Structure 1
Amino acid sequence: MAPNRSRGAGRSSGHRYPRSARVGETLREIIADELVRIDDEHLEFVTITKIDVDNELNRAIVYFDSLAGPDGDAEIVEALDRHRHRLQSSINRQIRAKKTPVLQFRPDDVIRSAERIDDILRADRATHPAADD
């Protein structure tokens, strides 16, 4: 008697989020580790916050934040572009996929927007303290 297979057997359906999200998180970890090894003063205080990978794994947008703030974004993007080959090689060695996505670098505007909102709220609380009723 043949074993009873449920629908979708053999597929990796046990994952709760899409493959592109799993790959994005793996890439984030690899790139963050590699940035620690790169000796470039422009990348000293850079944090990789998120990576969006397209479904075909052709492109990955690498979002970053830094202590330099928006003023240093252009220099950081240039530095990341200079080290793109090294980052791609590190990814290729560690994930052993048929292809690795091409990396594009952008500042994480969501993080910066949240920081601006937090600053505004903090300033408002300082000038208008809440009455304790």
Structure 2
Amino acid sequence: MSDLRANRVAEQMKKELGEIISRRIKDPRVGFVTVTAVKVTGDLQQAKVYISVLGDDDKKQDTLVGLAKAKGFIRSEIGKRVRLRKTPEITFEFDEAIEYGNRIETILRDLNDGDTDQ
């Protein structure tokens, strides 16, 4: 039962975090961020937020720093919007799956282009 509740809380947090980060964070370091997934522990104490950032590595690092600075504000906003006794501790991580998928797609495209040349 707790896994089902954790999943529901994670989905609600994902929706709210997208709204908060895109509309409420005014830090210029935070660029175009997409919340790709949220994983919440069964006891709802920890939330790992996976993000995708448009830009180069410097832009990604700046965004991570900006989000870390705004973590208290983000957590308080989540506390207001998602009804829980205790708001989960939030950590931000890059979602490597999108870059990995793009890299595989590029390799496959290059291989396919190589086959048509012969």
Q: Which has the higher helix share?
A: 2
User: Would the aligned equivalents of 2:32 and 2:53 in 1 still touch at CA under 8 Å?
Assistant: yes
> What is the SS of the residue equivalent to 2:116?
coil
TM-score calculated relative to the size of structure 1: 0.78
Identical pairs, percent: 28
Larger Rg over CA atoms: 1
**Map of 2:53 onto structure 1:** 66
Larger RCO of the pair (alpha carbons < 8 Å, separation 6+): 2
Alpha-carbon distance in structure 2 between the residues aligned to 1:70 and 1:113: 15
Alpha-carbon distance in structure 1 between the residues aligned to 2:9 and 2:109: 37
TM-score calculated relative to the size of structure 2: 0.87
> Which residue, out of 33, 53, 58, partners 2:19?
33
**Map of 1:22 onto structure 2:** 8
Alpha-carbon distance in structure 2 between the residues aligned to 1:33 and 1:23: 15
Alpha-carbon distance in structure 2 between the residues aligned to 1:21 and 1:119: 33
1:42 is displaced (CA, Å) by 2.8
> What is the SS of the residue equivalent to 1:44?
coil
**Map of 2:70 onto structure 1:** 83
- Segments of 5+ residues of structure 2 without an aligned counterpart are none
**Map of 1:8 onto structure 2:** none
> Which residue, out of 8, 29, 33, partners 1:42?
29
Alpha-carbon distance in structure 2 between the residues aligned to 1:90 and 1:21: 19
Deviations 1:7-42 (A, max 9, x none): xxxxxx7xxx72111111111111110112222233
**CA RMSD in angstroms, aligned pairs only:** 2.0
| Runs of 4+ residues over 6 Å off in structure 1 | none
* Paired letter, 2:48: I
Instruction: Evaluate the alpha carbon distance shift between residue 54 and residue 123 of structure 1 in structure 2; reply closer, same or farther with a 3 A threshold.
Output: same
Alpha-carbon distance in structure 2 between the residues aligned to 1:114 and 1:51: 19
Q: Does 1:121 align with 2:108?
A: yes
> Which residue, out of 101, 113, 117, partners 2:88?
101
